[in-house]
Structure 1
């Protein structure tokens, strides 16, 4: 039977644009993985790796116009948003190049023998080595930053791991273009082009996670799809690490004092965050705890005014549009749920932003309103009106893990008076990133960033954004009593590579 074609589709019309490729067979997946496995040696030299990452950023920037045009045609995210996302992606590649140059990620620790210790310490030398070929599963909503050239790919290459990317079906043509750019950059440094593999198709994604030469995987997507791959990774004869970002409600708590102080500002800020990118950000605030009373009413009015002025937008594909329209309709029909601005279909190919309100007491216990505690992908949020702090705590106690959690505090609360610290303590177990007086959309690429969280936000404790994302693709190895002449250069006493390390208990930079 002939392989199924892979089509590029215009989400603005639902019409096919062009056939890009065909879905990869098991044989083709095997070939891509083996080619990547064979390219490992070319990444062994850190200086070559860093130069490759910088060249990849340069080549992506040089192709900006064509890449942004292709991305917009397949995602409808718009040239302004996509140009910014591409710039973020190139910055990320260069940031990892800097991390590779520095070398601290190798975590070098050397202990000389100490016969006086109890028990005695032999000669021990520890550093981290690449795991091997990494499978990367692209996201739909970030065709640059979480796709073929995104954080999983950049951090894996920085660690010394070739990648095989399973292209997302929402932007296959862009995926092919980017893979070509990255392979060209690799060739400029004598790196086999197999270092960047690309496969299409659902079955190919399943074959990829099962391949015995795949050493780890990174995923950004739905809870259902991510959990299926996570289970497959664990069920292999040799299980592998699976670093998945699955789903998140990203709760927001607005204190009564904060609402009284700046209800209009908070309402406008919430509207901007929940509708940004047509509500297709993984950190979109999907549940907001706001007070009853006059201050809360002012906030709702501000939110209503701002959301009412948001134009209908196009989601990434028609399947997502259908799920959104159905999902908000079912939620809106629940008892005591109101729609100050009704979300749903905005046209044949678009959706309109909106929000729902519900008494927080309805969410504080198990019941028919539990659906409101599940992520709904698109421009909608649920505002739960609470009457006291006990209701806030009761709702928070029922939430699963999240990528982010936010609290809006008054000026006095932010200065340490009142309940600010206790709310932070309530939110910390729920999320990987806790924000004060801000909005979660927008994840800075920075050394201290953490983009992950308790399940189902992520399947591991690692981050997919920021410098420490490289740690996912490394494992530690210790050599004991190995003659120095046999040791890797990273572990020799004279430190010929000039690496940061801990030498006999002393941190050396």
Structure 2
């Protein structure tokens, strides 16, 4: 059992208070050994959950109008608090997930980095979408009123932790960071597979709330039975939006609940994706061995438990395609299974692999070796052809883990037809040489309608956190193709526009006041006026 210098309580944190749950208990399991980890975590019932959402609603007004410097400082304090317990976090997360320390250290750095990135967004303030149109009393045939617009926070946001990213898509991960940056209090539903990791990060956020003098309802960490307490959280009338990363079944269930409320709310769910990779003829005239190694590395990293893993690969039929598959077989021979996140996820992977392998017209290219720990199945690559792919929807189902399907295509036209039949995805990748550009040009407009990110001569795993990233895509990859859950654009999910017409100047909120006291980027009478940069702003 892992030990840390911090004593874990096993309780939820409701607006700064440690609260034992009245709805039973759960324990984390070390997926490498099957050992149960302490402490037992108490689960909230619905009445206790309401304490968190009520506190979040009480915090909304003051937190939503926080000035940029204080707001950015709060996000930076969270990052510093997380870094102060980095060693404990990596140790506990490793025990709860089976992920190696190198992966977890990188993920932790990504988590604190995106908090600081959102702090810079808050300081510059262009996410507030401020527009000012001065009155034109002499305009004909009708005068124009004084109009001012800004974006305001939606209100309390429910965020659900992901199984596969105990830091970057968890307690203080991208959904939480972007919601807090938008000025929305967060009620975070911890993932029961890594509760100790969640508590340590939850304390870091709670301590930052207190240190910055904010209303304690700005953040709560709740533990509860996944289905019942999650549904109750989305039904709660004080919750105004939802951030979710997980299965299609889980995401669509939350979407249905949110849509059935008396006042429906948006659910920003990242769900399933098989991230097609298209290998064109010209790419196979290069180093085929390196191409195959890159494919296998992308497929097997983190045991394939990444939402951007390449679950589908198109390759030309014929000699060049055969050479590539032979290289894949050689590369996979050196790959062993890695510990999967939970026994349940490993079991679902095996069921998915068995189901795909049983389909008519599907064969096995190669298998790796079983891993040395429990729940570390051998990675596998299957193969089929375009007619089978188009006829059988099972071939488009995500298998969460290191399993992929290669589809052989006989012509560019057959390839285009197959791509048109795909479901919505997070990513699509093209491996090509200059001679392939005409085919790629025909593929691009089709792919733009199917995915949120298009890559060339790379691999989809590894998502940069920055200004231009899109981590989203058409359903069923996500519930809303207009958004992203990674990058600074993610903040837009939790804001809405409000216009002020002819309000007296002393009643206007700071972002739209004439003097621009917060020094925000604004559009005034149709012209962009950049922010007045100060130390700490984005250059």
Report the TM-score when normalising by structure 1. 0.96
Please give the alpha-carbon distance, in whole angstroms, between the structure 1 residues aligned to 2:379 and 2:311: 13
Residues matched between the structures, number: 503
- Whether 2:375 is the aligned partner of 1:352: answer no
2:35 corresponds, among 8, 12, 15, to: 15
Report the equivalent of 1:450: 470
Deviations 1:80-106 (A, max 9, x none): 000000000000000000000001111
Deviation at 1:388, TM superposition (A): 0.9
- Whether 2:117 is the aligned partner of 1:95: answer yes
Please give the alpha-carbon distance, in whole angstroms, between the structure 2 residues aligned to 1:355 and 1:177: 38
Report the equivalent of 2:192: 169
Please give the alpha-carbon distance, in whole angstroms, between the structure 2 residues aligned to 1:62 and 1:495: 36
Please give the alpha-carbon distance, in whole angstroms, between the structure 2 residues aligned to 1:135 and 1:327: 30
Deviation at 1:187, TM superposition (A): 1.2
Report the equivalent of 2:507: 486
Deviations 1:15-43 (A, max 9, x none): 31123422210111100111222223145
Deviates more, 1:199-208 or 1:86-95: 199-208
Please give the alpha-carbon distance, in whole angstroms, between the structure 2 residues aligned to 1:486 and 1:290: 63
Specify whether residues 450 and 2 from structure 1 end up closer, same or farther in structure 2 by C-alpha distance, changes over 3 A only: closer
Please give the alpha-carbon distance, in whole angstroms, between the structure 2 residues aligned to 1:485 and 1:359: 68
Equivalent residue runs for 1:215-226 within 5 Å: 215-226=240-251
Deviation at 1:335, TM superposition (A): 2.2
Please give the alpha-carbon distance, in whole angstroms, between the structure 2 residues aligned to 1:2 and 1:455: 37
Report the equivalent of 2:135: 113
Deviation at 1:345, TM superposition (A): 6.3
| Moved >4 Å (runs of 4+) | 343-348
Equivalent residue runs for 1:434-473 within 5 Å: 434-460=454-480, 461-473=482-494
Specify whether residues 204 and 71 from structure 1 end up closer, same or farther in structure 2 by C-alpha distance, changes over 3 A only: same
Please give the alpha-carbon distance, in whole angstroms, between the structure 1 residues aligned to 2:366 and 2:389: 21
1:238 corresponds, among 255, 263, 268, to: 263
Please give the alpha-carbon distance, in whole angstroms, between the structure 2 residues aligned to 1:484 and 1:348: 66
Specify whether residues 398 and 299 from structure 1 end up closer, same or farther in structure 2 by C-alpha distance, changes over 3 A only: same
Deviates more, 1:242-251 or 1:486-495: 486-495
Structure 2: tracts of 5 or more residues without a match: 1-20, 531-539
Please give the alpha-carbon distance, in whole angstroms, between the structure 1 residues aligned to 2:64 and 2:515: 24
Structure 1: tracts of 5 or more residues without a match: none
Report the equivalent of 1:500: 521
Please give the alpha-carbon distance, in whole angstroms, between the structure 2 residues aligned to 1:351 and 1:151: 30
- Whether 2:156 is the aligned partner of 1:133: answer yes
Report the equivalent of 1:52: 74
Is the CA contact (8 Å cut-off) linking 2:337 and 2:369 kept in structure 1? no
Report the equivalent of 2:328: 303
Equivalent residue runs for 1:264-303 within 5 Å: 264-303=289-328
Specify whether residues 344 and 374 from structure 1 end up closer, same or farther in structure 2 by C-alpha distance, changes over 3 A only: farther
Please give the alpha-carbon distance, in whole angstroms, between the structure 1 residues aligned to 2:131 and 2:461: 38
Deviation at 1:338, TM superposition (A): 1.6
Equivalent residue runs for 1:23-422 within 5 Å: 23-40=43-60, 41-42=62-63, 44-45=65-66, 46-114=68-136, 115-116=138-139, 120-200=143-223, 201-202=225-226, 203-342=228-367, 348-364=374-390, 366=391, 369-413=392-436, 417-422=437-442
Report the equivalent of 2:15: none
